[in-house]
Amino acid sequence: MEKNKLKIAVLDDYQNVAKLTADWSSIEDAAELVIFNDHLFDESQVAERLEPFDVVCVMRERTPLTPSLLGKLQNLKLIVSTGTRNASIDLKGAEQLGIEVAHTGYVNSGATEHTWAMLMAIARHLPEETQSFKNGKWQKTVGTDLKGKTIGILGLGNIGKKIAVIAKVFEMKVIAWSENLTPEICEPLGVTYVDKKTLFKTSDFITIHMVLSDRSRGIVSVEDFNLMKSSAFFINTSRGPLVDESALINVLQDKGIAGAALDVFDVEPLPENHPFRTMENLLATSHIGFVTEDTYKVFYEDTVRILKNWLFKI
């Protein structure tokens, strides 16, 4: 690396698409740019890798910027994070260290679309039927109807409201619960407010759409899973730690529910030997709900714009 040139790191570009979705030429003219496609779990290795850099650009919450890590990055002046918020960045610590933090825009349709794709896939057993077809067989399973079924939505925010609208199109009964939700919020949407226990006991499909916080962490517990119908499905495309992972593993292993669809996990990337990797009643994807062409275009074009403004400012 050149001694006097500003150094910029772009982390966790898993698909190697950062340069395909934005024009980085102006950045490369003004600074030394390094894009990393791999992911490091060990904080000491992350610190060693990032120590020379003045700027770190992170993709969502893939690499946590913890207080201890930030304290080791003596050259760091700017963090650019994709998305409008990133719970894995120690904002107070960055402020105390004089590190500026900037966020890009976001396309919020991807998570909604992916949630419904997963719901449809588990209801109609699409992975099993696709594999059966490729193996030369024909009609292996019997699908679950959506019309007339009850979908329970945990969290009726921006995404939860969109899920409710889609469910109505499929003529499903929509119920919802969260700690701050009220019947007055639900009524204009044609959604029925219920308590948490009722939601888990009566829903045929349950999908969670909450922001991860200290209060919401582990909000779906073993007691909740024990209330579910044996024919019900559970879907999580929000954040893994919202759910007691060991409880979900147990209920799936015991066939206590019909199945689950997950796009998020406690540890990401998910370890290769994790129980979720081999469960027949689990449909899982690698946190790709937000991974779309339009979203990445916004993420990386905004990152370049932020970097250009910062470079000119200094």
68 token code pair:
């201890």
> What pLDDT band is residue 34 in, cutting at 50, 70 and 90?
very high
CA angle 41–44–48, rounded 5-degree value: 110
Considering the domain architecture, whether residues 261 and 132 belong to the same structural domain is answered as: yes
Decide if 261 is inside a domain: yes
pLDDT confidence of residue 3: 62
- Residue 158 sits in the same domain as residue 263: yes
Inter-residue contact 263 to 289 (CB < 8 Å): yes
> Is 125 annotated in the active site?
no
R_g of the chain, CA atoms, integer Å: 22
Respond yes or no: is residue 39 known to be catalytic: no
pLDDT at 1: 57
Same domain, 163 and 249: yes
| Alpha carbon distance 11, 36 (integer Å) | 5
Tally of structural domains, the chain: 2
More confident residue, 108 or 45: 45
Integer CA distances (angstroms), 153 to 19, 170, 187, 212, in order: 38, 15, 14, 16
| Average confidence (pLDDT) over 108-137 | 97
- How confident is residue 314, by pLDDT bands cut at 50, 70 and 90? low
60 within some domain: yes
209 SS3 class: coil
With 80 as the cut, is the pLDDT of residue 4 above it? no
pLDDT over 70 percentage in the chain: 99
Q: How many beta carbons lie within 10 A of that of residue 277, not counting itself?
A: 11
Q: Label residue 312 by pLDDT band (50, 70, 90).
A: confident
Assigned domain for 235 exists? yes
Residue 27 sits in the same domain as residue 50: yes
SS (H, E, C) 124-173: CCHHHHHHHHHCCCCCCCCCCCCCCCEEEEECCCHHHHHHHHHHHHCCCE
Residue 154 pLDDT class (50, 70, 90 cuts): very high
pLDDT of residue 268: 94
Q: Are residues 92 and 14 in the same domain?
A: yes
Structural domain range at position 35:
7-107+293-313
Cα torsion 116, 203, 280, 269: sign: positive
Query: What confidence tier does 277 reach under pLDDT thresholds 50, 70, 90?
Result: very high
- The answer to whether residues 143 and 254 belong to one domain is yes
| Residues 180, 40 share a domain | no
pLDDT at residue 85, as a whole number: 87
Whether the pLDDT of residue 305 is over 70: the answer is yes
Read off the pLDDT of each residue in 53-77 and give the average, rounded to a whole number.
96
Residue 1, domain member (yes or no): no
Through-space distance between the first and last CA atoms of the chain, rounded to whole angstroms: 20
Query: What does the pLDDT average to over 120-139?
Result: 97
Residue 303 has pLDDT above 60, yes or no: yes
Answer whether 81's CB lies under 8 Å from 104's CB. yes
Percent of the chain with pLDDT over 90: 95
Average pLDDT over residues 194-220: 96
Summary mean pLDDT of the chain: 96
- Is 190 in the same domain as 242? yes
Is 2 within a domain?
A: no
> Could you tell me if 227 and 253 lie in one domain?
yes
Q: Which residue has the tokens 């969109």?
A: 162
pTM for this predicted structure: 0.92
Looking at residue 102, its pLDDT comes to 97
What is the tens place of the pLDDT at every residue in 170-188?
Answer: 999 999 999 999 999 999 9
d(CA 264, CA 178): 20
Candidates 61, 125, 239, 245; catalytic one = 239
**Rounded-to-integer distance, Cα 75 and Cα 60, Å:** 22
pLDDT (mean) for 91-99: 95
**Phi-psi category of 139—alpha, beta or left, where left has phi over 0 and alpha has psi -120 to 50?**
left
Residue 56 maps to a domain: yes
Same domain, 150 and 273: yes
What's the confidence (pLDDT) of residue 2? 58
Q: How would you class 175 by CB atoms within 10 Å of its CB: exposed for 0-12, middle for 13-18, buried for 19 or more?
A: buried
CA of 63: how far to CAs of 81, 127, 305, in Å?
A: 11, 31, 22
**How does DSSP classify residue 199?**
H
d(CA 35, CA 52): 14
Does 147 lie in the same domain as 256?
yes
User: Looking at 100, 113, 268, 301, which residue is catalytic?
Assistant: 268
CATH number at residue 133: 3.40.50.720
Known active-site residue 103: no
Give the pLDDT band of residue 5 (cuts 50, 70, 90): confident
Residues 50 and 12 in one domain: yes
Long-range pairs for 131-137: beta carbons < 8 A, 24 or more residues apart: none
Polymer length of the chain: 314
Considering the domain boundaries, does residue 66 fall inside one?
yes
